[in-house]
Amino acid sequence: MRADHLRIMDKETDDDMQDLTRRGFLGAAGVSVAGALGLATTGSTTAAPRPGNVSPAIDPTVWREHGTPLVAPTGHGLLAGKTVAVKDLYSIRGHRVGAGNTVWLSQSQPSAVTAPSVAALLAAGASIAGISRTDEFAYSLAGTNGHYGTPPNPQAPDRIPGGSSSGSASAVSLHEATIGLGTDTGGSIRIPSSYQGLYGIRTTHGAISTDGLLPLAPSFDTVGWMTRTRADLVATTAALAPGLPASLDVSLVYSDDIINVAGPDVAPAVRAGIKRLRTRIPVRSIAFDISVLPQWVKAFQTRQGWEAWQAHGRWISRHWDSLNPDVRSRFETASKVTTSDLAAADRVLATARDRINRALGDAVLLLPSASSTAPTRASAAIGGGVIEDTRARTFQLTCLAGIVGRPAVSNPLPSAGPPVGLCAVGPRGSDLALAALPVV
């Protein structure tokens, strides 16, 4: 996997990055000055990481860099006139990758290449509005960041934005970008989409190149994006995943037991949404044993943690104090995963994969995008009990698509209170048709 974005300033860290290069996570680092490349920027790409290269009018909790545009389109196509907020994990030629961590950013250098997914957006006519904030190393679902602050949730101002693609989601919700490019490993597109009333897609695992993307857990990492309208979601999907079928000839299903995983602030809205949908489209109920979900989540997180430690462990082990408490705790757990733990987790995941695929076949599963509405900012202390409980319950829902590598689209439901998302999980390769499916 290429990222081509780091040249480290001290020898020990440089050794770590060379090791990542040998194992395929990073390419050879290259230094390329934005001005020499003709890229539009609002400041030097080697400036101090706080508050970032943003103008005083731009919220630094949302943007690390921002321009008008930051990078101009390279072509004309489906996305002409659209603007993109790019999560701070993607390589953009002439710009650094910060990964939501001040020390990582201070040690990185401008990228030599642009990630293929970003390049495809530019070629389709979109411009890059800026580089948006992420939870550290994308290892969170909350959207909180102790280094840069928590981005706003314009649809529920007293609540957190959801993460880890938090800045991209907030930029779209604030109308500061048309498209929020993010990633989804365990729910980092679906959760902020649900919390902020956006459309968001986690793509089929492996369908869109993750080259130039800083990894978390390659077995589950996917490219994804969020928009305010279904039309923009469909157009972006068509631009980034050309050639996929635009319609589905499959059944829609739901499980009451899966819906029951969600709390009382979400489950009734999801049931009401499915009831409305059944007046237009046949939807059938299926049985699904949810007692296995905690075990599946544990196996998912074991594999995820092991891969995260393989990707970043050597660097993390010398920079523990640079991490926020929640992310530090996850890396501490990840560092202790043994090969026997991993083998046991993989056996559970293989069983889960078989059971999910047999239960769904080619059907589209409807379920809550998240287990709750967005927790309040007051209750959402970084690493605190509210966040960790919400994460645990939400993972029981989001892990289903991740385990089998299927695409998933979060659709905003009508709601008198905080936003709620209805998720549609489709067969592998159904990304474009799933984006267009009018489930709400």
Least Cα distance to 366 among 434, 297, 296 occurs for 434
Q: Strand 83-87 to strand 179-184: parallel, antiparallel, or no bridges (unpaired)?
A: parallel
Spatial distance between the Cα atoms of 23 and 315, rounded to a whole number of angstroms: 14
- Of 87, 140, 165, 369, the catalytic one is 87
Spatial distance between the Cα atoms of 118 and 132, rounded to a whole number of angstroms: 13
How far is it between the farthest Cα atoms of the chain? 64
* Structural element, H or E, at residue 333: helix 325-335
Task: Give, in order, the Cα–Cα distances in Å from 241 to each of 125, 206, 390.
Answer: 15, 11, 32
Spatial distance between the Cα atoms of 237 and 203, rounded to a whole number of angstroms: 9
Task: Give, in order, the Cα–Cα distances in Å from 435 to each of 220, 273, 361.
Answer: 20, 17, 19
43 with 64: CB under 8 angstroms?
no
Residue 188: active-site member: yes
- Of 111, 127, 173, 188, the catalytic one is 188
Task: Give, in order, the Cα–Cα distances in Å from 409 to each of 52, 85, 153, 199, 237.
Answer: 32, 19, 20, 7, 11
- Of 91, 108, 127, 164, the catalytic one is 164
Task: Give, in order, the Cα–Cα distances in Å from 17 to each of 5, 136, 395.
Answer: 10, 18, 31
Residue 430: active-site member: no
Q: Quote the distance between the C-alpha of residue 107 and its chain's center.
A: 24
406 with 204: CB under 8 angstroms?
yes
Return left, alpha or beta for 224; rule: phi > 0 is left, psi -120 to 50 is alpha, else beta: beta
What is the torsional sign of CA 195, 199, 205, 211? negative
Residue 87: active-site member: yes
* Dihedral angle computed from the Cα positions of residues 356, 361, 364 and 369, in that order, rounded to the nearest 10 degrees: 10
Spatial distance between the Cα atoms of 96 and 106, rounded to a whole number of angstroms: 9
Spatial distance between the Cα atoms of 433 and 110, rounded to a whole number of angstroms: 37
**Residue 5 exposure: Cα atoms within 13 Å on the Cβ side:** 29
Active-site residues, by number, are 87, 164, 188
